[in-house]
Structure 1
Amino acid sequence: MAKGETAAQRFVRLNGIAGTFREIGVPKDRKTSALDMAAASGIDPARLFKTLIVETAEGKLAVAIVPASRDLDRKALARELGSKRVDLAPKDKAVKTSGYAMGACSPLGQKKKLPAFIDESAKGFETVFVSGGAYGLELEIAPAELVRAAEAEFAAISHEVE
């Protein structure tokens, strides 16, 4: 990797993926939610997607990419995965599998390739934003390009925040 390059930046560079990285000024001394990140950047929270590592009831891991403005619909994702249920993966397992710190998990350049699902709401935008692999670094990318790059599929896996 080039000096200071994240695994996601390296993945994008080496695979010729069309996308633009941008730094977002957020406080580094405290945890910031995806909604806080959207507010700090001026990005519509429906276009800023968070990357979640989930674990099925059977112990299989997967990636869910959902808008900051919505919650993961665990039942819908479980159906997509053919499982009884899914939960967020334990922090240590998510970090070890993805290679990314919590709050900076990118759907691209993960250590282990996992099944990936992008909420179908992404199709309504010309571009969306996902983590660039470092806290405060976002990748702007077309949804179809993200599906190809992450070897993912679109699915209805989110619901309104309760």
Structure 2
Amino acid sequence: MAHKTNACRLLDQKKIPYTLHEYTFSEDALDAVHVAQETGQDPGKVFKTLVANGDKTGHLVACIPADRTLDLKKLAKISGNKKCELIHVKDLEKITGYIRGGCSPIGMKKLFPTFLDQSADQKTPIFISAGKRGLQVALAPENLLEITRGRMTPLT
């Protein structure tokens, strides 16, 4: 069994039920679609964690299905920004404490405003990074919203 990550420890602390799923990862394929293939999950149930910067609010987090693209205009509007742009991958660890391919919306250095694509509403569980490459956590969308103090909204 994999070592507990910050995300797992926080879920345990809040007594939020989840299951862990290990998969084989490769440096060449860190994208969420690959994770869906490796875990045998529908790419619509595997959510990638993207970190953006809003011109008014600063950093924010968007969780969207593996096979979709983030609509930055929608994210800006819902988060109270005029515009948002994704942060550069080289800044990810400094901002979140996580590396590319292992970035979880749970347990970042700070609790940033978090938005979950509304497509998660029809899916239980959803899969997100457990905070380490090769490890996913499956949980109910409402539990992800609870622990991140997030909001469900159209993002793609």
Normalising by structure 1, we get a TM-score of 0.90
Using the alignment, how far apart are the partners of 2:56 and 2:146 within structure 1? 27
Shift of 1:92: 3.8
Identity of aligned residues (%): 33
Letter in 1 for 2:110: K
- Counterpart for residue 4 of structure 2: 5
Using the alignment, how far apart are the partners of 2:3 and 2:129 within structure 1? 16
Unaligned runs of 5+ in 2: none
- Counterpart for residue 108 of structure 1: 106
- Counterpart for residue 51 of structure 2: 53
Give the superposed CA RMSD. Answer: 1.5
Shift of 1:76: 0.3
Using the alignment, how far apart are the partners of 1:133 and 1:123 within structure 2? 22
- Counterpart for residue 133 of structure 2: 135
- Counterpart for residue 87 of structure 1: 85
Which residue of 54, 76, 79 maps to 1:78? 76
Using the alignment, how far apart are the partners of 1:119 and 1:68 within structure 2? 11
- Counterpart for residue 19 of structure 1: 18
- Counterpart for residue 117 of structure 2: 119
Shift of 1:59: 6.4
Q: Does the Cα contact within 8 Å between 2:57 and 2:80 map onto a contact in 1?
A: no
Unaligned runs of 5+ in 1: none
Cα distance, 1:125–1:59 mapped onto 2, change above 3 Å: closer
Using the alignment, how far apart are the partners of 1:93 and 1:80 within structure 2? 24
Normalising by structure 2, we get a TM-score of 0.93
Mean alpha-carbon deviation: is it higher for 14-23 or for 90-99? 90-99
Mean alpha-carbon deviation: is it higher for 92-101 or for 149-158? 92-101
Mean alpha-carbon deviation: is it higher for 31-40 or for 44-53? 31-40
Letter in 2 for 1:46: G
Letter in 2 for 1:93: D
Shift of 1:25: 2.0
Tell me which stretches of 4 or more aligned residues in structure 1 moved more than 6 Å.
none
Letter in 2 for 1:83: N
